[in-house]
């Protein structure tokens, strides 16, 4: 298994760089389809956006760490922030009903539901200083 690591300042304009690195890392290993690569890029971008938000809310300027594990049949990406932690909605929480034309009120809050649907596995872990989110697309690389 190969690993690629990257740290970024907690600023949203670095998310394009994260997507570029994650997509190219996944591409180099060739273990994901194009659709899976799109899913992974979006899920990782959402996770990093949440990390940036958490750090801003927490007054932190610590770097956000992104670790990409490249396996034969899948990719796992872990995003770790210093944002003081948060409580993720339960995995069973329904997707907000944005589709109802009378209730188009979900201009925010789609990020985590999207992550859960796009990735094959999502786990949130509290760390001493923040949150680590692990997203798997395909089959998780064995460590």
- 17 forms part of the interface with another protein (CB under 8 A): no
Query: Under rule CB under 8 A, which residues in 21-80 are in contact with another protein?
Result: 35, 38-39, 41-42, 45-46, 49, 52
Q: At closest approach, how far in Å is the CB of 90 from another protein?
A: 18
Report the residue number, 113 or 130, with the smaller CB distance to another protein: 113
Structure token pair of residue 117: 């649907």
Residue window 110-139: x/- pattern of binding to another protein, with contact defined by CB under 8 A: xx-xx--xx---------------------
**58 neighbors 84 (Cβ within 8 angstroms):** yes
Centre a 10 Å sphere on the Cβ of residue 4 and count the other Cβ atoms it contains. Answer: 18
- 13 forms part of the interface with another protein (CB under 8 A): yes
Distance CA 22, CA 123 (A): 18
Report the residue number, 22 or 136, with the smaller CB distance to another protein: 22
Q: At closest approach, how far in Å is the CB of 16 from another protein?
A: 6
Which are the contacts of 13, defined by CB distance < 8 A and separation ≥ 6?
none
Q: Is residue 131 classed exposed, middle or buried when 0-12, 13-18 and 19+ CB atoms within 10 A define those classes?
A: buried
**39 neighbors 23 (Cβ within 8 angstroms):** no
- 92 forms part of the interface with another protein (CB under 8 A): no
The candidate with the shortest Cα–Cα distance to 50, out of 101, 122, 2, is 122
Q: Contact region for another protein (CB under 8 A) — 62-70, 79-87, 105-113, 124-132?
A: 105-113
Binding site for another protein (CB under 8 A): 12-13, 15-16, 19, 35, 38-39, 41-42, 45-46, 49, 52, 95-101, 104, 106-111, 113-114, 117-118
């Amino acid at each position: 298994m190969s690993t690629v690591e990257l740290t970024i300042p907690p600023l949203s304009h670095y998310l394009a760089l994260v997507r570029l690195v994650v997509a190219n890392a996944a591409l180099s290993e060739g273990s994901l389809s194009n659709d899976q690569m799109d899913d992974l890029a979006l899920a990782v971008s959402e996770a990093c956006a949440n990390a940036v938000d958490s750090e801003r809310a927490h007054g932190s300027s610590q770097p956000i760490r992104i670790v990409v594990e490249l396996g034969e049949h899948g990719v796992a990406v872990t995003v770790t922030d210093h944002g003081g932690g948060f409580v993720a909605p339960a995995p069973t929480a329904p997707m907000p009903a944005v589709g109802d034309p009378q209730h188009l009120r979900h201009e925010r809050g789609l990020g985590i539901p999207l992550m859960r649907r796009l990735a094959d596995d999502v786990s949130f872990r509290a760390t001493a200083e923040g949150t680590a989110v692990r997203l798997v697309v395909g089959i998780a690389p064995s460590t």
